[in-house]
Structure 1
């Protein structure tokens, strides 16, 4: 399965790279932290040692600092994360 073709990969894959490089506070890394159990169960190798605690709160706070539409963007990011997880789980089930 080519992970780059999955919906939401533009956030998840850079976040995974960030975690491998010790960067736990990027948008992508925080998204991975939110769904780390689900992603791991679907077969993705997530480096647990760099996961942020309370990633939902940190992501929202970061977005509030950066954007006027934090609420809508936060929900859009979570939707992308869910789409990525669904596609990954579906791809592993077939």
Structure 2
């Protein structure tokens, strides 16, 4: 599936797919790894997801600011879910 940049959260998924393909463990790549099955079901090509992406994403966010890690983690998951729902509606 070609990313539709009008979908909510598309910037995160687009960057995450690119980073994941390069095996760069960014927050976006870990987020895509979390949603790999759902994204693949809507037609995205998701290369080998990272192991334990939930733990790794939380730890990465906590490195930057431990006090806000929980809230930022949940916000990223909501954006991923929003994107996945929208992508499922437009998937062939």
Could you tell me the TM-score, scaled by structure 1's length? Answer: 0.88
Root-mean-square deviation (CA, aligned residues, Å) is 1.4
User: Is residue 15 from structure 1 mapped to residue 16 from structure 2 by the alignment?
Assistant: yes
Taking the TM superposition and a 5 Å limit, the aligned residue runs for 1:9-88 are 9-23=10-24, 25-48=25-48, 51-67=49-65, 68-88=67-87
Distance (whole Å) between structure 1 residues aligned to residue 57 and residue 13 of structure 2: 14
Choose between structure 1 and 2: higher helix proportion: 1
Matched pairs, number:
90
Structure 2 residue matching 1:6: 3-state secondary structure: coil
Where has structure 1 moved over 3 Å in runs of 4 or more?
none
Unmatched runs of 5 consecutive residues or more in structure 1: none
